[in-house]
Chain A
Amino acid sequence: MIISDWKVRDVDEIWRLCDLVKIVVLVKDIPDLTDIKIGQDRRPILVSVKRKINDLDKRALESAVQLKEKYGGEVVTLSLGDEKTRTTILDALSSGADSAYIINDKELIGLDALTTAKVLSFALKKLAPFDLVLCGEMSLDTLSSQIGARIAEILNISQVMYARRIDLVGNKIKVERELEYCEEVVEAELPAIVSVIREINEPRIPSLMNIMKAKRKPVIEWDSKTLGLSVEELKKLSAIEILDVKAPLVERKRIMIKGETPEEVAEKLVEALRSEGVLRDLQ
């Protein structure tokens, strides 16, 4: 299969509605942003930073699990990750996913959005038939916001982004979504890919029992070969190259103002702000 002109047009043949709902949640394993330190050279240090599931993907998973609780069916997660993802994904399995698919291949690390979406689309095709793919509005590490829309185009399925409420109605999905100017309630044909925003829900905290159970749930690893992907072709297709990453230098004074009473503290603050010259209108 040639990746570059691979667009699935024979949707009806590939997808059939299952009797029970099958939902695939795209779960990305990202560095814990609060754990990133900045080195002498102003470069963020990522080795040995803890990893966790992208916050929005946990919310996507929570939505999927709620739909499953309502209608029955199956929830699986799909991640393009690495050898550490197995550990991170336990959190998803504890939170209600039935099984996890991880694409773990040294050759598939550090891809751009274009090629990441291609790889995930290949994997989704292998997971078909399904009714719904849920993902986050964006990866909080790369702030890229592309994967959901790209997959919708590649697989030619319904695209509904920025959901704050999701429900299934017959063989369609009903979504309340939010833009800057308006809120919309839309109905889309299945299969569909839906991205969620932070406000959609608060993900559950898994119980100890579910954490224990998660360890026995299936985790399936795939690589480029299982997906039938040509790594060489993918690399040729990749369009964006990262040349450098730096943390801007912002020096803050970090002075703690202390005093016996709130008034004393307030007076000291006002004094400090006046000498900074930022209370101009009062001076």
Chain B
Amino acid sequence: MTGILVYSEDLDLQLQLLSKGRELSNNLAAKLYALVIGSNVEGHVASVLNYSDAVITIENKSLEHYDVELYKIGVVEAVKRVNPDVILIGATKFGKELAARTAAALDAGCMTECISLNIDKEGNLLAERLIYGGSSIALEKSRRKPHIAVISKNIFKRLEPSTKVAEVLRLDTDHPKSKVQILEKREKSKSDTGLEEASIIVAAGRGFKKKEDLDLLRELSSILGSKIGCTRPISADNGWLDEWIGISGKKVKPRLYIAFGISGTIQHAAGIRGSQIIVSVNQDEAAGIFEISDYGILGDLYTILPALIKVLKKVKKTES
């Protein structure tokens, strides 16, 4: 009997991939394995019991940190044990480096940024994946087992848990001393801002000159009942907001997306493609964002944004 092996250190993502894995396992008549690796895995194991046929756990003190060399040894051991046809790995940053490293150890192919998965008549894995910065979609075929696919969060939906409880298989692995030592670790306080579920998003780009100016956007946002998003530099360079939107950030699908001072690079555009209506305000006539907008306003966000707030306030008042 063949198998599908699913790994992600991100529990939510692993449950989503197990749900997709369940569908593929029905097609392939395969057994569905959840792989859990770490130094303290009990809680995680308990959470995947109702999503798989078997849970493979590798627990070891040396796996306390996300050390790719040591984790790879774990994945390779699991693969040797169950010989899966398909391996699904969650596209966190760590998941991506682990997938590629494991693929190299197995001399296997690997498809990243997958947005759909299918099995063809010969039992090969077909994937649609984003390319050209996210502006196009390639259809690719993995023609040799094990087929490895790497998938981001929220591509597949998490199903309801089944009432069947998986068996647990413990693997003992040897982990040599790693070539990489951790000197310091700072946890990030991650606030999930709910951008992915938002129905309206107003977003800031580098057209904003100061952090305080985002207050304008917050005012607009509270009138619209929207969420606030931004481009990568606003978050990663300036640290003004926690999460950004785009190919390397959140992919959003609101009914209304309003971009202020955003140029519309391919990497940002890839994250907003699913929006129903896109509005952009930019003072550069040639800004690429206008190409992918339904409504564009050529102008200074510092005059348009206050005007919009004023008009919306007026509308709200007369109608309530």
Contacts and interface: CB of A to CB of B under 8 A. Distances in A.
B11 interface: no
Given A180-B190, A181-B188, 15 more contacts: A4-B107, A145-B96, A152-B104, A159-B101, A186-B182, A186-B183, A240-B143, A243-B140, A244-B139, A247-B135, A253-B293, A256-B295, A265-B304, A276-B277, A278-B277
A212 interface: no
Contact of B109 (A114, A157, A183, A253): A114
Between A36, A117, A180, A261, the greatest number of chain B beta carbons within 10 A of the residue's beta carbon is seen for A180
Given A146-B112, A239-B144, A282-B315, A269 B93 contact: no
Contacts of B316: 282
Given A143-B112, A262-B304, A262-B307, A113 B140 contact: no
B157 interface: no
A243 B137 CA distance: 11
* Residues of A in contact with B, size category: 35 or more
Given A150-B104, A256-B290, A272 B295 contact: yes
Contacts of B297: 256-257, 265, 269
What's the interface size class on B, roughly? 35 or more
Contacts, number: 258
B312 interface: yes
Given A184-B182, A282-B316, A241 B133 contact: no
Contacts of A158: 179-180
Interface of B: 10, 65-66, 68-69, 72, 92-94, 96-101, 103-105, 107-113, 126, 129-144, 179-188, 190, 200, 224-225, 232, 236-237, 247, 255-256, 265-267, 273, 276-279, 288, 290-299, 303-304, 306-308, 310-312, 315-316, 319
Nearest to A263: B307
Given A240-B142, A256-B296, A265-B304, A188 B112 contact: no
A155 B92 CA distance: 24
Nearest to A157: B179
Contacts of B131: 141-143, 245
Interface in A238-273: 238-248, 250, 252-258, 261-263, 265-267, 269-270, 272-273
B291 A254 contact: yes
10 contacts: A146-B96, A159-B68, A183-B188, A192-B179, A246-B137, A250-B292, A254-B296, A262-B307, A278-B200, A278-B277
Contacts of B296: 254-257
A174 interface: yes
A278 B256 contact: yes
Contacts of A267: 311
A141 B133 contact: yes
A254 B100 contact: no
A160 interface: yes
A254 B190 contact: no
A146 B108 CA distance: 12
A1 interface: no
Contact of B307 (A157, A238, A255, A266): A266
A221 interface: no
Interface of A: 4, 31, 33-34, 36, 44, 112-114, 117, 140-154, 157-162, 174, 178-189, 192, 198-199, 237-248, 250, 252-258, 261-263, 265-267, 269-270, 272-273, 276, 278-279, 281-283
Contacts of A257: 295-297
A63 B188 CA distance: 25
B94 A252 contact: no
Given A161-B68, A180-B93, A188-B181, A113 B100 contact: yes
A278 B132 contact: no
Nearest to B273: A250
- From A112, A182, A272, A283, residue with most partner B Cβ within 10 Å: A182
Question: Of residues A157, A265, A283, which shows the largest number of chain B Cβ atoms within 10 Å of its Cβ?
Answer: A265
Contacts of A140: 133, 266-267
A245 B294 contact: no
A241 B303 contact: no
A153 B46 CA distance: 32
A192 B293 CA distance: 44
A10 B133 CA distance: 38
Closest 6 CB pairs of A and B: A239-B109, A262-B307, A149-B100, A153-B104, A146-B100, A150-B104
Contacts of A145: 96-97, 100, 112
B239 to A, nearest CB: 10
A242 B127 CA distance: 10
B291 A263 contact: no
Contact of A256 (B111, B181, B288, B298): B298
A256 B93 CA distance: 39
A198 B109 contact: no
A270 B223 CA distance: 13
A184 B291 contact: no
Contacts of B288: 34
B65 A184 contact: yes
Contacts of B299: 262, 265
A33 B266 contact: yes
B98 to A, nearest CB: 8
